[in-house]
Amino acid sequence: MPTVRDVAERAGVSIATVSFVLNGSKPVTPATRQRVEAAVAELGYHRNELARALASRKTRILALAHPTAEHRFGSSTTDFITSAARAARARGYHLVLWPIDTDGQEIHDLLGQGLVDGVVLMEVKLDDPRVDALAASGTPYALIGRTRDPAGLVHVDIDFDRSVADALDHLQDLGHREIAFVTAERPGYGPKVRSEAAYRRLCAERGLEPLLLECAPTAPAGQGLMPRLVERVTAVMLMNEYAAFGVLTGLARAGLGVPDDLSVLSFTSPDMGALADPPLTTSHSPGAELGSLGVHALIDQLEGIEPSAPRLVPCTLVPGQSTARRP
């Protein structure tokens, strides 16, 4: 790999002059600048970014800390991670992956290595020892998700109030009044707790009778809800993407059909919803957008840019063929 010395020789200038041009640290004549830039291009010279980073006491490396076992609903985690890495690169940063346990010790040890300028923490829990470890470390961070009381914390998250309201709107517009909500068994999981609270509040405001159920995140568990559920409601929303498939199977086995006997709305990706028969009406979480927003919020903080208000982004409802007018 060519060195700064090679560039200086090729351009016929001193190493210091090359440095002046590359760092813009001292004015040089246009002719000299041109010679240096030509030599850089001809040799394919790149500065040693790491040495430069150390000199500035910044590594320009960020960590994306994510749980090792994780079940993000309704969105591909890959989209999320890819989008975060691209956002970092667009602003001149690299993103390292830290798959970590949820107890706080692992992130504490990693922070102690001094490698990263900041951390984006995914899948934040309502009570999260990793957030405490971050706060104690003094390392800047941004959260994807929220603790129980996120006031003052830089975070981005799904707008659960709006997402549940949009789903209810869709079903109410079709004439449904008895609308169940099925989540996955996962105590203390923010998205579950917040969306259940939104559902209860909205049912109260709209004069609907809430029917809140939970089951394991599997197709057989969803199947087990049928056909009993049909006796109580005409529509169901599921924040449990695997169970949604089981609901269809369970209905079919009972000789019932979607959407004739039950309207089904699933919080999942449209790709996943398209695998069902009939294709599901879906509401998908803004995974890629949150990945990018989280990284930008962190970098703004690192670069002293005034923080914008915490961003809450709603899920996007995509009508399929599994919801229809109330019979």
Residue 61 interacts with a second copy (CB under 8 A): yes or no? yes
A 10 A CB-CB count for 234 gives 20
* 3-state SS assignment for residue 97: strand
DSSP per-residue codes, 222-235: HHHTTTGGGGT-SE
Nearer to a second copy, 49 or 169 (CB): 49
Residue 56 interacts with a second copy (CB under 8 A): yes or no? no
H helix intervals, the chain: 4-11, 15-23, 30-43, 49-55, 77-90, 105-111, 129-137, 160-173, 190-206, 219-224, 241-253, 270-273, 287-302
User: Which stretch, 60-68, 121-129, 168-176, 192-200, contacts a second copy (CB under 8 A)?
Assistant: 60-68
Q: Is the link from the previous residue into 227 a cis peptide, with omega within 30 of 0?
A: yes
DSSP per-residue codes, 141-202: EEEES--SS-TTS-EEEE-HHHHHHHHHHHHHHTT---EEEEEES-TT-HHHHHHHHHHHHH
CA 301 – CA 308 distance, rounded (Å):
10
Nearer to a second copy, 214 or 241 (CB): 241
> Among 219, 298, 315, 317, which residue interacts with a second copy (rule: CB under 8 A)?
219
Residue 224 interacts with a second copy (CB under 8 A): yes or no? no
> Among 218, 301, 316, 321, which residue interacts with a second copy (rule: CB under 8 A)?
218
User: Which stretch, 10-18, 86-94, 143-151, 165-173, contacts a second copy (CB under 8 A)?
Assistant: 86-94
Residue 73 interacts with a second copy (CB under 8 A): yes or no? no
Nearer to a second copy, 235 or 276 (CB): 276
| Residues 262-301: x where in contact with a second copy by CB under 8 A, - otherwise, as a string | ---------x--xxxx-x----------------------
Nearer to a second copy, 203 or 265 (CB): 265
CA 81 – CA 62 distance, rounded (Å):
13
How far are the Cα atoms of 20, 90, 167, 238, 311 from residue 192, in angstroms, in the given order?
55, 33, 15, 11, 19
Q: How far is the CB of 17 from a second copy (least distance, A)?
A: 21
The count of residues in the chain is 327
User: Which stretch, 174-182, 188-196, 248-256, 309-317, contacts a second copy (CB under 8 A)?
Assistant: 248-256
CA 62 – CA 60 distance, rounded (Å):
7
Residue 51 interacts with a second copy (CB under 8 A): yes or no? yes
User: Which stretch, 81-89, 145-153, 156-164, 198-206, contacts a second copy (CB under 8 A)?
Assistant: 81-89
CA 311 – CA 144 distance, rounded (Å):
10
Report 117-156 residues binding a second copy (CB under 8 A). 137-138
Q: How far is the CB of 141 from a second copy (least distance, A)?
A: 15
> Among 5, 12, 26, 99, which residue interacts with a second copy (rule: CB under 8 A)?
99
DSSP code of residue 220: H
CA 131 – CA 203 distance, rounded (Å):
33
Two structure tokens written together for 101: 């346990």
Amino acid present at 96: V
Residue 23 interacts with a second copy (CB under 8 A): yes or no? no
Q: How far is the CB of 220 from a second copy (least distance, A)?
A: 8
Task: Give the interface with a second copy as residue ranges (CB under 8 A).
Answer: 1, 44, 46-51, 54, 59, 61, 64, 66, 68, 70, 76-78, 81-82, 85-86, 89, 94-99, 109, 112-115, 137-138, 218-220, 242, 245, 248-249, 252, 271, 274-277, 279
